[in-house]
């Protein structure tokens, strides 16, 4: 009985871990997301721009993710 419970917990833990996003958002991105949600697009753009500049050593995929977030916020201003 204990073995089945242990196996269940292990499988659940692994599936939960793999279901998470591959990107670990930085503080600037989280703050920008909050501002975007509140309609503060200009302030969010400043933070998104800072996030792009600080992640120059990040993977190309993550840099593209940050740029997509920037352009999405920029489009909301129009």
**Domain boundaries of the chain, sorted by first residue:** 23-77
What pLDDT, in 10s, does the model give residues 14-65?
A: 555 544 455 577 899 999 999 999 999 999 999 999 999 999 888 898 899 9
Query: Is residue 60 packed enough to be buried (19+ CB in 10 Å), middle (13-18) or exposed (0-12)?
Result: exposed
Give CA–CA dist 18/58, Å, rounded: 21
In this prediction the pTM is: 0.68
The dihedral through the CA atoms of 61, 67, 65, 53 has a sign that is positive
The dihedral through the CA atoms of 31, 37, 39, 42 has a sign that is positive
């Amino acid at each position: 009985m204990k073995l089945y419970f242990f196996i269940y917990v292990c499988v659940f833990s692994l599936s939960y871990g793999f279901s998470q996003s591959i990107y670990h958002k930085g503080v600037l991105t989280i703050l920008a997301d909050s501002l975007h949600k509140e309609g503060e697009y200009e302030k969010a753009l400043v933070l998104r721009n800072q996030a792009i500049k600080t992640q120059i050593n990040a993977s190309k995929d993550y840099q593209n993710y940050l740029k997509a977030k920037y352009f999405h916020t920029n489009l909301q201003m129009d």
